[in-house]
Amino acid sequence: MGTTNTFSVLFWVKNEKGETGRGIIYARITVNQKRVLVSLKRKILLKLWDSGRKRAKGHSVDARQLNQYLDSVQSRFFHCYQELTSKGKKVTAKLIKAVYLGDGENSKTLQELIQYHSRKIESTLASGTIRNFGITEGYINKFLAKEKNTTDVYLRELDYKFLCDFQNFLLEYYPKKHPREMSHNTVMKHIQRLRKIIRLAYHLEWIDKDPFMRWKTTFEKKEREFLSPNELSNLETYEFPIERLDRVRDLFVFSCYTGISYVDIMGLSLDNISLGIDGNNWIMTKRQKTKTSIKIPLLDPALHLIKKYSDHPMTIITGTLLPVITNEKLNVYLKEVALLCGLKKNLTFHMARHTFATTVTLSNGVPIETVSKLLGHTKIATTQIYARVLEKKVSEDMNDLREILKKNKGIT
């Protein structure tokens, strides 16, 4: 025969030592007339606390947020009580407190996992990747606050519906200072990052199974822009009236002939130039993003730019191979460069890497395996995102094939 428990949660404020007029909010859990206190580590002015309602007074933003938090805490305490009851365990106030604070079985929360993941990646991933995870974590918190009316959830509460709801939230969310809502692919990237975080919980055995196992991310294929040979030539030969734009163009062109990304170019120095196996100058470095080693033979246009800036005041001060400029300013100035050169494309620095992969190498007959090695990719499939066979190259290859077929048939 089951035993009926009496259970309640009340909030109250206790005066903080050394501070007048301010107190710390506590939750008092009572089960069968036995009580324990849980500090919520939240402070409030005593005059703003309604001792009758056990909530903050008024309708200010701070009051509403605090009351929402207290509602979510009360809900979590009740959830702990229900879970213990459903398992047929003896329910005590101390046990509910232990489960709530994470000392009980299966009581890990999403925020605990996010914090653990952040510590894990802080010394293993590139700064840009860590920043992207931080952005995703921000959206997770916004989603919990708006859609779930809470600041945290237990990992055992995560399911397929949670991910569907998160996707819908992102699709409808309009980021501040953005010209439009998130694209489908951006939403998928955020979900990918959340899945990586959740998969870590599975490997840590914080959850019994991956709740998103059946989820499949889908990406829309985007045509990656690059400069044609004529556009690249016009950019290289244009004489800019402003030295600032001349430097920006040179950095872009250097990437067009090496395939090196912005962050890796900014870290290059003379120490990165060595004689290669062929006796020519090569750039040898590691990609910051993946820590992959890259060895790139220097083509003449890239060598010319290195010599141009070898005794430039900016490179002498910084000790770098080329002038240093922030990525944000670089991409802003590239808009000016495009305008002056008559380029209709949305010129970004990453387009130089696409140009190297497509216009400079693949369209000139460099095998995709070699291009993949030059770009520092670990898989050919990654290179195929950049690579495309141009119509001009298709035409040339088919004309060569026609000549071969004619010779085989004895046609002159």
Q: Which residues lie closer than 8 Å to 387 by C-beta, 6 or more apart?
A: 357, 358, 362, 368, 371
Report the share of the chain in percent with pLDDT over 90.
48
Instruction: State residue 368's pLDDT score.
Output: 87
Looking at every residue in the chain, the average pLDDT score rounds to 87
Instruction: State residue 218's pLDDT score.
Output: 82
* 307-330: pLDDT as tens digits: 999 999 999 999 999 999 998 899
How many CA atoms are closer than 13 Å to the CA of 366, on its beta-carbon side? 19
Instruction: State residue 1's pLDDT score.
Output: 37
Is 191 a residue whose pLDDT tops 70?
yes
Instruction: Give the best-scoring range by mean pLDDT among 76-90, 143-157, 261-275, 393-407.
Output: 261-275
Q: Output the CA torsion sign for 167, 173, 178, 181.
A: positive
**403: pLDDT confidence band, cut at 50, 70 and 90?**
confident
Instruction: State residue 94's pLDDT score.
Output: 84
| Cα 377 to the center of its chain, rounded Å | 19
**5: pLDDT confidence band, cut at 50, 70 and 90?**
confident
**234: pLDDT confidence band, cut at 50, 70 and 90?**
very high
Could you tell me the two tokens for 258? Answer: 């090496």
Q: Tell me what the mean pLDDT of segment 178-197 comes to.
A: 86
More confident residue, 159 or 390: 159
- If phi over 0 gives left and psi between -120 and 50 gives alpha, with beta otherwise, what is residue 41? left
| Cα 263 to the center of its chain, rounded Å | 16
Give the residues across from 154 on adjacent strands. Answer: 109
Please state whether beta strands 34-45 and 22-31 pair in parallel, antiparallel, or not at all (unpaired). antiparallel
Q: Tell me what the mean pLDDT of segment 223-227 comes to.
A: 83
Q: Tell me what the mean pLDDT of segment 95-100 comes to.
A: 81
State the pTM of this model: 0.59
Instruction: State residue 107's pLDDT score.
Output: 65
Is 11 a residue whose pLDDT tops 90?
yes
Give the residues across from 38 on adjacent strands. Answer: 27
Across the beta sheet with 22-31, the strand order is: 7-15, 22-31, 34-45
**22: pLDDT confidence band, cut at 50, 70 and 90?**
confident
Q: Tell me what the mean pLDDT of segment 132-147 comes to.
A: 92
Q: Are 254 and 381 in contact (CB under 8 A)?
A: no
* 40-71: pLDDT as tens digits: 888 899 999 998 999 999 989 989 999 999 99
**SS3 letters for 201-235?**
HHHCCCCCCCCCCCCCCCCCCCCCCCCCHHHHHHH
From CA 285, how far away is CA 291, in angstroms rounded?
A: 9
Q: Are 27 and 40 in contact (CB under 8 A)?
A: yes
Output Rg (C-alpha) for the chain, integer angstroms: 30
- State the fold for domain 229-396: hpI Integrase; Chain A (1.10.443)
* 258-289: pLDDT as tens digits: 999 999 999 999 999 999 889 999 999 988 87
